[in-house]
């Protein structure tokens, strides 16, 4: 499906922005936010190049992301936070527009698709933001652990949300028809998108008791890979079965 790449990119932008807004930003160096703004810029470019709808939103998002990266570089935290809010709002707006369009084209329940999209935003944003924040501790070891712990708890909460939602989908719609391909997608969805993040949350929580941010970052990196696999396979399963498992 031609919308798969921009839809994934916009959910990732929305997730990054949301997680940065809920974490204790005053305890984190400005360089971290500058890097995340550049990540959003890159994702916005990818979305603009692969979508045929709403390219102006992607253009504005890229412009605001670049401006935000400059402001964070100059330590203009208040202005940088305004750009962060705008990037998050634009990411959520375009994600919602694309989600409604895909749900209508695929005959998918909009309420169920909306909940699945929220779960994806939370999972993708928490794992990637947490992993990149963990890398920041290598150059700023004096930062308190509270921001990383907050993002790690978000990984666990997103995993529990996805577990409850996917369990409901199975109970309400049953398992997909017996098919080797769809069975593999469902397995990746549950292992990568649910059990993987929950295991990562538990391991990182234990590791951070010893302030070992380097090991925690490595585990979060594995969590990013698992989450990406889980969400992408979940998308394939959704388009195939018209149920957002």
Residue 56, pLDDT score: 82
Whole-angstrom distance, CA of residue 35 vs CA of residue 57: 21
Q: How far is CA 221 from CA 10, 120, 165, 180, 217, in A?
A: 20, 17, 24, 29, 6
**Predicted TM-score of the model (pTM):** 0.94
Per-residue model confidence (pLDDT) at position 27: 87
pLDDT on residue 140? 85
- Whole-number Å distance between alpha carbons of 218 and 126: 15
**How far apart are alpha carbons 200 and 230 in whole angstroms?**
14
Tens digit of pLDDT at every position of the chain (245 positions): 567 888 999 999 999 999 999 999 998 999 999 999 999 999 999 988 887 555 788 889 999 999 999 999 999 999 999 999 999 999 999 999 989 988 888 788 999 999 999 999 999 999 999 999 999 998 888 899 999 999 999 999 999 999 999 999 999 988 877 667 888 888 899 998 999 999 999 999 999 999 899 999 999 999 999 999 999 999 999 988 889 98
Q: What is the pLDDT of residue 83?
A: 97
Can you give the pLDDT at residue 179? 67
pLDDT of residue 168: 95
Residue 234's pLDDT is: 92
User: Closest Cα to residue 122, out of 228, 197, 19?
Assistant: 19
CA distance 150 to 22: 9
């Amino acid at each position: 499906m031609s919308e798969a790449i921009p839809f994934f990119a916009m959910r990732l932008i929305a997730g990054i922005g949301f997680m940065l807004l809920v974490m204790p930003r005053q305890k984190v160096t400005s360089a971290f936010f500058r890097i995340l703004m550049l990540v959003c810029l890159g994702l916005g470019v990818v979305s603009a190049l692969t979508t045929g709808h709403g390219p102006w939103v992607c253009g504005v998002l890229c412009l605001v992301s670049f401006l935000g990266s400059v402001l964070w570089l100059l330590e203009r935290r208040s202005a940088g936070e305004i750009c962060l809010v705008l990037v998050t709002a634009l990411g959520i707006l375009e994600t919602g527009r694309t989600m409604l369009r895909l749900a209508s084209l695929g005959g998918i329940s909009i309420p169920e698709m909306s909940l699945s999209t929220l779960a994806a935003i939370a999972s993708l944003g928490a794992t990637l933001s947490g992993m990149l924040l963990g890398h920041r501790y290598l150059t700023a070891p004096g930062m308190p652990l509270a921001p990383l712990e907050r993002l790690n708890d978000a990984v666990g909460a997103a995993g529990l949300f996805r577990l409850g939602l996917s369990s409901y989908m199975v109970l309400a719609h049953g398992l997909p028809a017996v098919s080797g391909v769809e069975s593999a997608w469902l397995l990746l969805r549950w292992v990568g998108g649910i059990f993987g993040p929950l295991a990562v949350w538990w391991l990182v929580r234990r590791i951070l008791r010893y302030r070992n941010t380097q090991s925690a970052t490595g585990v979060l990196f594995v969590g990013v890979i698992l989450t990406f696999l889980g969400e992408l396979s979940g998308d394939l399963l959704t388009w195939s079965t018209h149920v957002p498992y």
